[in-house]
Amino acid sequence: MSDSSADIRFVSGSPTADEIAVIITVLTARAAAQRGSTPPLSLWANKARLTRPALSAGPGAWRASAMPR
């Protein structure tokens, strides 16, 4: 861990080495998941908005291609 001042203290009972290892693993995985999560992009930042829709051939397609969507 990058923070060496983090302390874990057990207030009751006497955990075994295996139980301590499980607790450390869970806490480490939870901290990594929180660091790695990114907020979803807003629709304003979506680059797909900037692309044109596919044009299809057929009767009236030339007229529909000039119409705003």
Most confident of 15-24, 25-34, 57-66: 15-24
Local confidence band at 1 (pLDDT 50, 70, 90 cut-offs): very low
For 47-65, the pLDDT digits (tens) are: 877 777 776 778 877 777 6
pTM beyond 0.75: no
Within 10 angstroms of residue 9's Cβ, the number of other Cβ atoms is: 4
Q: Is the pLDDT of residue 22 over 90?
A: yes
28 in a structural domain? yes
Domain count, the chain: 1
26 in a structural domain? yes
Residues whose CB is less than 8 angstroms from the CB of residue 8 and which lie 6 or more positions away in sequence, other chains included: 23, 24, 27
- Residue 59: its pLDDT value, please? 83
30 in a structural domain? yes
Domain span holding position 18: 7-37
Both structure tokens of 4: 């060496």
What is the mean predicted confidence (pLDDT) over 30-38? 78
CA distance 25 to 29: 6
